[in-house]
Amino acid sequence: MSGTYEAYILLKVSRDIPTRGVVNEIRRLPHVEEAEILFGDYDAIVKIKAEKVHEIENFVIDKITSIEGVERTMTMLCVDEEII
């Protein structure tokens, strides 16, 4: 796969930190296409785009998990339909 990679990141946010504040902070980060609050097992979802897969990994590790209140993440990398 080459070109642009997309991923969705599900977030679990601490009850002590307002989810809205976490989502607003994430919206200001590079690579973020969308960030929305959820109801259910996860508290927020983030859609990102990057030129390289390792940029997604670095983004999650360096940016997302360093935000106060983010307890857990689950990253789902989108697959190019041509390889399925």
Residue 34, pLDDT above cutoff 60: yes
Q: Which residue has the higher pLDDT, 64 or 4?
A: 64
All structural domains of the chain: 1-7+15-69 (3.30.70.920)
Residue 43, pLDDT above cutoff 60: yes
- Tokens, residue 34: 């969308």
Band of pLDDT at residue 1, cut at 50, 70 and 90: very low
Mean pLDDT of the chain: 93
Residues 6+ apart with CB under 8 A from 79: 1
Nearest to 17 by CA among 77, 71, 81, 65: 71
DSSP per-residue letters across the chain:
--S-EEEEEEEEE-TTS-HHHHHHHHHTSTTEEEEEE--SS-SEEEEEEESSHHHHHHIIIIIITTSTTEEEEEEEE---GGG-
The pLDDT score that the predictor gives to residue 12 is: 98
